Amino acid sequence: MEPLILKTDSVLLEFDGRKILQDVYLECKQGEVLGILGRNGCGKSSLLRIMFGTLTPAYKHVSINGEYIKKGYHNRRIAYLPQHNYLPKGIKIKKLAKSIIDDRFWDDFSAHPVYHDHCEKTIGELSGGEVRQLETLMVIYSKADFILLDEPFTHISPMQAEMFKAIIKKCAKVKGIILTDHQYYNILDVSDRIILITNGYTRPIKHRDELITYGYLSHIN
C-alpha cells in the first residue's frame, strides 16, 4: 500500500492582529519522522493543534493524500500529544488503552513496565512522571495514521528520552510522526527531516549549520 502523505499549506494564524504563522508549508509521509524547531512563541504548538483540528486559524489547508481534512482527529487520521495531561481520571488504564492502541503494537505497548505494572489502576494512582510516560506511549502506539507530539522529551529522564526515540523510530515505519521540543538535540537525533519555524515561516533545514544561520542556535555541540 502506498504511504499516506499529510500536507499542511497556507496557514494563516493571527492573535490580536499579530501574524504568528503566515507562510507555512510542510508535508510528512508515513515512514518518516519530521522534527519542528523554533523559538518560544513562534507557533510550533499552534501548528500542531491546527493540523489536529483543535485550533482554527484564519486560513489553512490540511490534506491527506489530497483529501481535505477539516478535523485531523476524525476517524483517527491524526493523534496528538498535548503538553498537558489529558487522560481522564476514574477509569482503569487498561480500559483507556484498549480503545485507542493500534492492534499491531499492542504486544509492545502492553509489555512496557508503566502499563504492565499499573494497568489495573486509574490515572489518579500514578505519579506525574508515570502518567506522562503512559500518555506519550498511548499516543505513539495509537491507531492514527499520523502522530503529532508536542514536547515529548520535556519532563522526562535522558534514559526515557532514549527509549521514546527508539519507539518513535519503530512506529515511524508505518506511521508519519511530527514532533517538536525545545530539546533540539533529541529532535535532531530522531528526525529524518527538520523544519524551522521563524517569523511565521517554515524553512526546511538541510544542514545543521543553518540553525545557526537562522538564529535558532548559537553553536552546535
Footprint of another protein on residues 46-65 (CB under 8 A)? 52-54
Smallest gap, in angstroms, from Cβ of residue 97 to another protein? 11
Cα separation, 21 vs 127, whole angstroms: 36
The three-state secondary structure class of 127 is coil
Residue 104 interacts with another protein (CB under 8 A)?
no
Selected from 133, 142, 186, 191, the binder of another protein by CB under 8 A is 142
Q: Is 154 in the site for another protein (CB under 8 A)?
A: no
DSSP 19-78: EEESB-EEEEETT-EEEEEE-TTSSHHHHHHHHHTSS--SEEEEEETTEE-SSTTGGGSE
Q: Cβ-count burial of 147 within 10 angstroms (0-12 exposed, 13-18 middle, 19+ buried)?
A: buried
Judged by CB under 8 A, does residue 169 bind another protein?
no
Nearer to another protein (CB atom), residue 49 or residue 165: 49
Q: Does 128 bind another protein (CB under 8 A)?
A: no
217 binds another protein (CB under 8 A): no
What residues make contact with another protein under the rule CB under 8 A? 52-54, 71, 73-76, 79-80, 82, 84-91, 95-96, 99-100, 138-139, 142-144
